[in-house]
Structure 1
Amino acid sequence: MSQTPASSNESLSHVLGAAAARYTGGLSPYAAWAAMADWATHLATSPAQQFALGETARKILHDWTDYIARDDAPAPFRPKADDHRFAHPDWAKPPYCYWHQAYLGAEAFWEAATAHQPGVDRRNSDRAAFMARQLLDMASPSNMPALNPEVMHRLIETKGMAFAKGLELLIQDARQASDPKAAPSNGGLTVGQDIAATPGKVIFRNRIMELIQYSPATPQVHAEPVLIVPAWIMKYYILDLSPENSLIRYLVAQGHTVFVISWVNPTEEHRDISLDDYRTEGVMAALDQIGTIVPSQKIHACGYCLGGTMLSIAAATMARDGDARLGSVTLLAAQTDFTEAGELLLFLDESQIAFLEDMMWEQGYLDRTQMAGAFQALRSEDLVWSRAVRRYLMGLEDRASDMSAWNADATRMPARMHSEYLRSLFMENRLSAGRFAVDGRVVALKNIRVPMFVVGTEKDHIAPWHSVYKIKLFTDADLHFVLTKGGHNGGIVSEPGHAHRHYRIGHRVPGALYLDPDSWMAQHAPQEGSWWPEWQSWLADHSGAMVAPPAVPDALCDAPGTYVFQR
């Protein structure tokens, strides 16, 4: 059947957009140009802003020249608390301190230059600031061998062999990047043996997921099972890393029957799988299977990151339809409102999504490397440049860890599902606004009446805790909120015994007045240790008597299954 002129033109547009995306890493040049034009135009027509920036530049230059002219002058500029590029003591000595301070002065100037100004769209000014940071991170003296004292020391110590080792690592990484099917670098850790090694069986499989049931570790178990719904952007075993920091193993050891969804790693043939397919063939199919193994029992459902967003949609739909199978809902670093979704919003507008859709139209999916690039850009000074300096200039291999092995093992996302997710949730924020429809009828988070346990992490760049906290605005169920130390992954993987960990916990009873997140934080003192025992105790309190472990049905294979190995 021949294409109509309209469909032919649309295909040509997709082809051209996809070709452009290959050269920009999937980032829309139109969005970047619009942001810079908005910022630059308003700056060019604002004498007051120009004068203020001139004064800022004059003061920065004065402070820097005064510092290099006087031996006893204190350093005028300090790196941010999480910026470790200049931690080596020789950065405080001449001549390294001169360009180190010049660089930090430039950072201070551009931070002032891209601060929000009247008339500029706030997202555009944030994008301008982000792009300025990217360019500054690229130009840092820490990236240049002759200007970095740590690199020079390493070269002297190794008699230049650090460069040879760095070149070897660069070639190795380039080969792996060129082969999308290549196994990720795992630091010698093997999935199914060293990580993702909690004993269990795959009891169900469909085109979207495998369902794993873990073997009991106690003579009796809590009657109500736990279903874990991880994000489909990651392999599930972030919650089953090494035995000593596996959340799944911990729950099993505390007498819980645990099930987890292991998502498929999509290929071109999955391009038309929808967001709702992940609900029906993922969450709901898992609940159906668990119901046949543990009949007549409530199920404690737990969702992590995007898995928590999907679980929220499923729970709201079940509440609307009178499906009472859930005993509780736990959300780990999961957003239900996306108006404060952090710096990821810098990558999203109509132009950017259309650009991604062109790329996914050609591939059928969003590739793991394309998504990983966006996350790395949020902390490029550490995840990109500092790593490149250590690896390629100093010849130091990445420190092997279960977290780094998992982080290198990303997944793809089906084109249709990802487009629907970005548009309906990130762009249009339908879920918390009461405009998200399932089967043609709107669902509401407020209909969720089961107890809730919600966890946010203090330094989350993916799901900022203020955004996670907003679930309190849209529900009225009995709710415990935990704020734990760490980032999006490290804060969740916070096992008992992990040094220097703390958390805050509060209880919101149904009908209580709303308390804003900063006031909540001020009123809840940190407690030392891991939040895991708090959750386990909460699950136990919302469970019935201990019973004999349920039988495991005929298994398809041993855990961790087959989908987890897909490249």
Structure 2
Amino acid sequence: MVAQTDVKSTRKDATPSLTERLQLEVDRAVQRGLKGVELLGAPPPAVGRTPKTVIYRRGTLELVHYRTSLDEVYRVPILVVMAPTNKAYILDLAPGQSLVEFLLGRGYDVYLIDWNAPTDDERDLIIDDYVLDFIPDCIRRVQHRSKERDITLLGYCAGGLLSVIYQTLHADGPVKNLVCLTTPVDFTKMELFRALSDERHFDIEQFVGKVGVVPADVVIAGFDALRPVSRVAGQLRLWDNLWNDQFVKGYRMMERWGNETLPLPGGYFRQMTQELLRDNKLFEGTLRIGGRIVDLGDITVPLLHVIAQYDHIVPPQSAQPLVERVGSLDKEELMLPGGHVSIAAGANAVKRMWPKLDSWLEGRSI
């Protein structure tokens, strides 16, 4: 009976009083004000801090090799392909919040294709250039540097799309494993993007002819249109949590990444809009690259496709046909709770996606 009384007393004492709760809110309000003033002149947060070496640059293309302190690594190196719309540091935000850092720590040799803003001379780049030139060129350089023929190709979003198209056209090539994160296949399921690109309201030829390189603001506006209140809601969450340094740090890193969305070559933008969004040629089996049909059934290497359950950019219904259609015998679709970005870079990715990726790769990387 004495023990029960002590427990009840402890629990009662642990509950904040009304005065204590009011004081807590006052303290947080003061902190919000102070932190808000600090943020006005604060430099952008540091990102992408995992040590790396840029081993090749050509126009919009940049190939990096991340440095590891381990004496032994898996035989098969990983080449990450980022979406051309975004900087790759979303996969290397900060120590402890970096997929790249995690993979290095688990013993993988990591290379990454990042993108810079295309020059006006690159305005006519199309998908063919990415999958028949950029990716093969980078694979050859990874092979030369690692002294290994085999590689694992890991593509995120449109980087996954480019990786898939590459692999269909190089089925007997050096890719030993293919990993895709939130990769679209059936573009009829990307209803909002299709509505924004409806030819009744949007003349793609006239637009591309006028701008050449599609400005980043246009790309950002397209993403924002998918969730028109998300930016305002995010700012409200920031204000409510200004007292929380960890929240503010994470918010500012994500905000920086979103604000640094890249412009796109007009040719690539036109082809993506017309042939994929409007005509759905990849799903229909009529997409031609370099004069050859892109047939998903030609992919026979081990495949892992990670899909985000609450993805508003690439809905699960758009991504699911990939595993259904490839010819691989060793293939797996993994759907995890999360959104398009949080599936790879969010706090839960550390517990969910990253360990699963490691366990899938480890036996296939020797």
**1:437-476 counterparts in 2 under 5 A?**
437-476=288-327
Among residues 254, 259, 264, which one is paired with 1:408 in the alignment? Answer: 259
Judging changes above 3 Å, is the alpha-carbon distance between structure 1 residues 328 and 375 closer, same or farther for their aligned structure 2 residues? Answer: same
Contact conserved, 2:151 with 2:176, CA < 8 A, in 1?
yes
* Structure 1 match to 2:362: 540
Structure 2 stretches lacking a partner, 5+ long: 1-24
Question: Could you tell me how far 1:382 is from its partner in structure 2?
Answer: 2.8
C-alpha separation in 1, matches of 2:258 and 2:138: 26
Question: Could you tell me how far 1:305 is from its partner in structure 2?
Answer: 0.6
* Structure 2 match to 1:199: 51
Contact conserved, 2:296 with 2:327, CA < 8 A, in 1?
no
Question: Could you tell me how far 1:210 is from its partner in structure 2?
Answer: 1.1
Among residues 179, 182, 185, which one is paired with 1:333 in the alignment? Answer: 182
Question: Which structure's residues are more often strand, by fraction?
Answer: 2
Q: Deviations over 1:245-273 (max 9, x none)?
A: 11011111111110001112123332112
Among residues 208, 212, 223, which one is paired with 1:360 in the alignment? Answer: 208
Judging changes above 3 Å, is the alpha-carbon distance between structure 1 residues 324 and 382 closer, same or farther for their aligned structure 2 residues? Answer: closer
C-alpha separation in 1, matches of 2:235 and 2:256: 17
Judging changes above 3 Å, is the alpha-carbon distance between structure 1 residues 330 and 440 closer, same or farther for their aligned structure 2 residues? Answer: same
* Structure 2 match to 1:430: 281
Question: Could you tell me how far 1:485 is from its partner in structure 2?
Answer: 1.6
C-alpha separation in 2, matches of 1:187 and 1:462: 29
Contact conserved, 2:178 with 2:303, CA < 8 A, in 1?
yes
Question: Could you tell me how far 1:447 is from its partner in structure 2?
Answer: 0.7
* Structure 1 match to 2:12: none
* Structure 2 match to 1:374: 222
C-alpha separation in 2, matches of 1:291 and 1:218: 20
Report the identity percentage: 27
**1:54-203 counterparts in 2 under 5 A?**
188-190=44-46, 195-203=47-55
Instruction: Name the amino acid aligned to 1:535.
Output: L
* Structure 2 match to 1:90: none
Q: Deviations over 1:332-377 (max 9, x none)?
A: 01112212124222212213441x5433322222111112122222
Report the secondary structure of 2:111's partner residue.
strand
Q: Deviations over 1:405-430 (max 9, x none)?
A: 21221110011111011111111111
* Structure 1 match to 2:195: 346
Among residues 259, 264, 285, which one is paired with 2:111 in the alignment? Answer: 259
Judging changes above 3 Å, is the alpha-carbon distance between structure 1 residues 468 and 265 closer, same or farther for their aligned structure 2 residues? Answer: same
C-alpha separation in 2, matches of 1:287 and 1:387: 39
2:153 corresponds to 1:301:
yes
Instruction: Name the amino acid aligned to 2:173.
Output: A
Instruction: Name the amino acid aligned to 1:227.
Output: L
2:140 corresponds to 1:288:
yes
Report the secondary structure of 1:205's partner residue.
strand
Q: Deviations over 1:482-514 (max 9, x none)?
A: 1112110012214xxx46x79xxxxxxxxxxxx
2:348 corresponds to 1:493:
no
Question: Could you tell me how far 1:531 is from its partner in structure 2?
Answer: 1.9
* Structure 2 match to 1:383: 231
Question: Could you tell me how far 1:211 is from its partner in structure 2?
Answer: 0.6
The size of the alignment, in residue pairs, is 331
Instruction: Name the amino acid aligned to 1:338.
Output: F
Judging changes above 3 Å, is the alpha-carbon distance between structure 1 residues 220 and 390 closer, same or farther for their aligned structure 2 residues? Answer: closer
Instruction: Name the amino acid aligned to 2:248.
Output: R
Q: Deviations over 1:153-198 (max 9, x none)?
A: 99xx89xxx8xx89xx9xx9xxxxxxxxxxxx986413xxxx1111
Root-mean-square deviation over aligned CA pairs? 3.0
Structure 1 stretches lacking a partner, 5+ long: 1-152, 173-184, 503-528, 545-567
Question: Could you tell me how far 1:543 is from its partner in structure 2?
Answer: 1.9
* Structure 2 match to 1:216: 68
Instruction: Name the amino acid aligned to 1:337.
Output: D
* Structure 2 match to 1:516: none
Worse-matched range after superposition: 410-419 or 464-473: 464-473
**1:240-251 counterparts in 2 under 5 A?**
240-251=92-103
C-alpha separation in 1, matches of 2:275 and 2:283: 11
Report the secondary structure of 1:220's partner residue.
coil
C-alpha separation in 1, matches of 2:169 and 2:230: 41
Contact conserved, 2:288 with 2:294, CA < 8 A, in 1?
yes
Q: Deviations over 1:240-298 (max 9, x none)?
A: 11111110111111111100011121233321122211223321111111121233431
Q: Rg: which structure is higher?
A: 1
Q: Deviations over 1:41-77 (max 9, x none)?
A: xxxxxxxxxxxxxxxxxxxxxxxxxxxxxxxxxxxxx
Question: Could you tell me how far 1:214 is from its partner in structure 2?
Answer: 1.1
C-alpha separation in 1, matches of 2:42 and 2:76: 35
Contact conserved, 1:203 with 1:211, CA < 8 A, in 2?
yes
C-alpha separation in 2, matches of 1:200 and 1:387: 32
C-alpha separation in 1, matches of 2:114 and 2:194: 27
Worse-matched range after superposition: 221-230 or 289-298: 289-298
Judging changes above 3 Å, is the alpha-carbon distance between structure 1 residues 383 and 317 closer, same or farther for their aligned structure 2 residues? Answer: same
Contact conserved, 1:342 with 1:462, CA < 8 A, in 2?
no
Instruction: Name the amino acid aligned to 1:318.
Output: H
Report the secondary structure of 1:211's partner residue.
strand
TM-score (norm 1): 0.54
C-alpha separation in 2, matches of 1:359 and 1:439: 25
* Structure 1 match to 2:124: 272
Report the secondary structure of 2:344's partner residue.
coil
Judging changes above 3 Å, is the alpha-carbon distance between structure 1 residues 186 and 465 closer, same or farther for their aligned structure 2 residues? Answer: farther
Contact conserved, 1:484 with 1:531, CA < 8 A, in 2?
yes
TM-score (norm 2): 0.82
